[in-house]
Amino acid sequence: MDEQRRTWKLAAAMAACAVAVILIGVLLVGLRPPVYTSFVEAVGATLTRHGVEYDTIYIDQRWPDTVNNQRYGAHLTILRGGSSMSGRLECQAAQDNCRIWVREFGIEREPIPTLSRRDIPPWLRWIEEQLGWR
């Protein structure tokens, strides 16, 4: 009887540890700051921060912006409810220090989040999608 009680206690302790590890993992993933790997994601986050709802964001690279290595610039088209709004995306150097202009929403020279230099691992992206964080 004493051996059986010890086995149950050990099994309960192992189950509690497993649950604790899972909860800590979910907490750490939740506390991780958002990672943006594309301009569409970063612009979308900025629009959402301003309370702007949108359906789709298109980024159109234009000459001469793509020729100049010191700056990056692109035309933004934001679709919302069947209408389209135009804006501008400009970066000081490649993907750093980027700002957007969308006059229809009153957004001028608003900084967007910095793009990550690495991609998110597929398993972490899957977890974020399952939890509705992405």
Q: What is the predicted pLDDT for the residue at 69?
A: 58
Q: Which two tokens stand for residue 3?
A: 């051996």
Q: What is the predicted pLDDT for the residue at 55?
A: 94
Q: Which two tokens stand for residue 38?
A: 């594309």
CA atoms of 124 and 43, how far apart (whole Å):
22
Q: Pick 117 or 108 by higher pLDDT.
A: 108
Q: 27-64 burial, b for 16+ CB within 10 Å, e for fewer? A: eeeeeeeebbeebebbbbebbeeeebebeebeeeeeee
Of 99, 57, 63, the C-alpha closest to 78 is: 57
Mean pLDDT value across residues 29-54: 88
Does the reported pTM lie above 0.85? no
Q: Pick 76 or 32 by higher pLDDT.
A: 76
| Distance set, CA 85 to CA 63, 81, 112 (Å) | 21, 11, 18
Does residue 134 carry a pLDDT above 80? no
Model pLDDT for residues 43-99, shown as the tens digit of each residue: 999 999 999 999 999 998 765 555 555 677 889 999 998 899 999 998 887 677 899
Q: What is the predicted pLDDT for the residue at 115?
A: 84
Q: Pick 40 or 37 by higher pLDDT.
A: 40
Model pLDDT for residues 2-25, shown as the tens digit of each residue: 888 889 999 999 999 999 998 888
